[in-house]
């Protein structure tokens, strides 16, 4: 066979021994295994899938990632270390998953935060007192008397021109992604209206980008919407300096007349952020009840047993650097009255119509 040019210069090399070969292979084995085994591994403290392990994982994840501890201490006297002790005492090795879920749910309710949830395959542990303990201030049956059946709808937003000449837009959720085309179509359709009612009652949030896109239809210049921060480490006060959220005027159709935003306690999360963006703008009036709050953008994590944990991770502040976690007060407080409801009238919509017609 022809000699390889690649190896021709070593043809006359000394005779190799099998011992040398074995030394080489041994060296490779030692290097490979040592580097693999001795490399300092990057790992995270893990907890066993036991009642104790899952409760510890829950407590520690919140302890290191939840963003409102200082605020909750001031607002409700929360002592997170005491919570740890109290709920650890409720554990027993023989408790069922259902019992454990109850204990864990009770523990997260101590935070009094609608964004803190624990999801198992059969239930969602939650704190919904932020709206369940307050008047509903909304009835979809009565709303039908205004929307009728021939309303327009795009991306879940229902809209029509009311008999009074006021435009009515009901935005039940920010889960859909709003495009400029969707929003421009709404305001073009209502261009003849004397004023606009933007109803976000019972809107429990969704995409912050959708709330921002809607808010940007009501401004003509770059406007400060609020501030956002994030955790920079596991300490309770490891929070970054807040950074401005700047609203940029929408490129499509922008609303130039008066607007009344209707709110109730069930306006939460991204809907709360929309109200935060719009409050104080010229031509905008917030009417109804205090919003539900929820100004911490939630992150997700999980427990060893697979339960999904959601918690507030990024605090948001209004233009005055105040947290809106507990909600935003309306400019004009209005509640639904029993008398109006019996007549099929929505007190808030009626009050908004009166206000817009009088301006």
Partner 1 sequence: MSENLLLSYLPPMKQIVIMLLLISLSATPSSAKSYGDMPLPIRRETMSVKDSTSTTKAKCCPETDEETIATKRHTRLRTHSTMIGLGSNNQLDTYLSPLEYTGWEVRLLQENRRPTRLLSGRVEVQHLIQANYSYTHSLTRDTKYHSGLLEWQAAWHYRWQVLPWLRLLAGPQLGLHAGFVYSTRNGNNPAQARLSGDLNASGMAIANLRLWGHPVEARYQGDLLLAGLMFAPQYGQSYYEIFSLDQPHHNVCFVWPGAAVTYSQLLTLDIPLGTAALRIGYQGVIRQYRANHIKMHDWQHLLLLGYVKRFELVKFFKE
Question: Residue 136's beta-bridge partner residues?
Answer: none
Side-chain-side CA neighbours of 55 within 13 Å: the count stands at: 25
Closer CB to partner 1, 46 or 94, in the complex: 46
245 is an interface residue for partner 1 by CB under 8 A: yes
To the nearest whole angstrom, how small is the minimum distance from the Cβ of residue 186 to partner 1?
22
Window 31-60: residues binding partner 1 (CB under 8 A): 31-33, 35-37, 39-46, 49, 57
Q: Token match 């270390």: residue?
A: 81
Residues of span 85-124 touching partner 1 by CB under 8 A: none
* Binding residue (CB under 8 A) for partner 1 from 18, 94, 149, 320: 18
- As a whole number of angstroms, the distance between CA 130 and CA 31 comes to 61
User: With respect to partner 1, which residue has the nearer C-beta, 3 or 221?
Assistant: 3
Binding test (CB under 8 A) with partner 1, winner from 78, 95, 162, 314: 314
User: Which residue shows structure tokens 């209502």?
Assistant: 190
Q: Quote the least distance from Cβ 241 to partner 1, whole Å.
A: 9
Answer yes or no whether residue 321 interacts with partner 1 by CB under 8 A: no
Going from the C-alpha of 337 to that of each of 66, 135, 264, the distances in angstroms are 39, 10, 14
Size of the site for partner 1 (CB under 8 A): 71
Pick from 55, 62, 67, 111 the residue near partner 1 by CB under 8 A.
67
The answer to whether residue 65 forms part of the interface with partner 1 (CB under 8 A) is yes
Q: Which stretch binds partner 1 (CB under 8 A): 68-76, 187-195, 232-240, 331-339?
A: 232-240
> Do residues 288 and 347 lie in contact, with contact meaning Cβ atoms separated by under 8 Å?
no
Under 8 Å CB-to-CB from 129, ≥6 apart: which residues? 112
Q: Is 82 in the site for partner 1 (CB under 8 A)?
A: no
Q: Which of 168, 164, 215, 210 is nearest to 189 (CA)?
A: 168
Helix axis angle for 180-189 and 208-215, nearest 10°, is: 40
302 binds partner 1 (CB under 8 A): yes
């Amino acid at each position: 066979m022809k000699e390889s040019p690649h190896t021709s210069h070593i043809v006359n090399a000394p005779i190799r021994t099998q011992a040398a070969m074995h030394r080489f292979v041994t060296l490779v084995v030692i290097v490979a295994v040592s580097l693999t085994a001795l490399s300092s591994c990057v790992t995270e403290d893990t907890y066993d899938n036991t009642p104790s392990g899952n409760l510890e994982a829950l407590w520690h994840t919140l302890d290191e990632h939840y963003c409102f501890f200082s605020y909750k201490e001031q607002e409700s006297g929360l002592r997170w270390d005491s919570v740890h002790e109290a709920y650890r005492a409720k554990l027993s090795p023989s408790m069922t998953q259902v019992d454990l879920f109850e204990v864990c749910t009770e523990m997260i309710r101590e935070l009094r935060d609608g964004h803190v949830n624990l999801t198992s395959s059969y239930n969602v542990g939650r704190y919904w007192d932020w709206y369940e303990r307050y008047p509903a201030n909304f009835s979809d049956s009565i709303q039908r008397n205004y929307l009728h059946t021939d309303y327009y709808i795009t991306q879940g937003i229902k809209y029509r021109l009311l008999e009074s000449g006021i435009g009515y837009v009901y935005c039940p959720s920010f889960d859909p992604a709003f495009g400029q085309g969707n929003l421009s179509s709404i305001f073009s359709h209502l261009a003849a209206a004397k004023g606009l009612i933007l109803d976000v009652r019972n809107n429990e949030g969704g995409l912050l980008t959708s709330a921002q896109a809607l808010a940007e239809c009501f401004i003509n210049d770059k406007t400060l919407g609020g501030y956002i921060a994030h955790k920079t480490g596991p300490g309770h006060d490891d929070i970054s300096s807040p950074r401005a959220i700047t609203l940029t005027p929408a490129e499509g159709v922008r609303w130039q007349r008066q607007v009344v935003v209707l709110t109730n306690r069930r306006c939460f999360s991204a809907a709360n952020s929309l109200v935060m963006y719009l409050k104080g703008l010229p031509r905008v009036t917030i009417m109804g009840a205090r919003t539900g709050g929820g100004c911490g953008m939630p992150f997700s994590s999980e427990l060893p047993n697979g339960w999904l944990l959601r918690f507030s991770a990024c605090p948001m502040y209004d233009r005055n650097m105040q947290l809106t976690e507990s909600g935003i007060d309306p400019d004009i407080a209005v509640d639904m009255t029993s008398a109006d409801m019996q007549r099929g009238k929505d007190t808030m919509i009626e009050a908004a119509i009166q206000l817009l017609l009088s301006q």
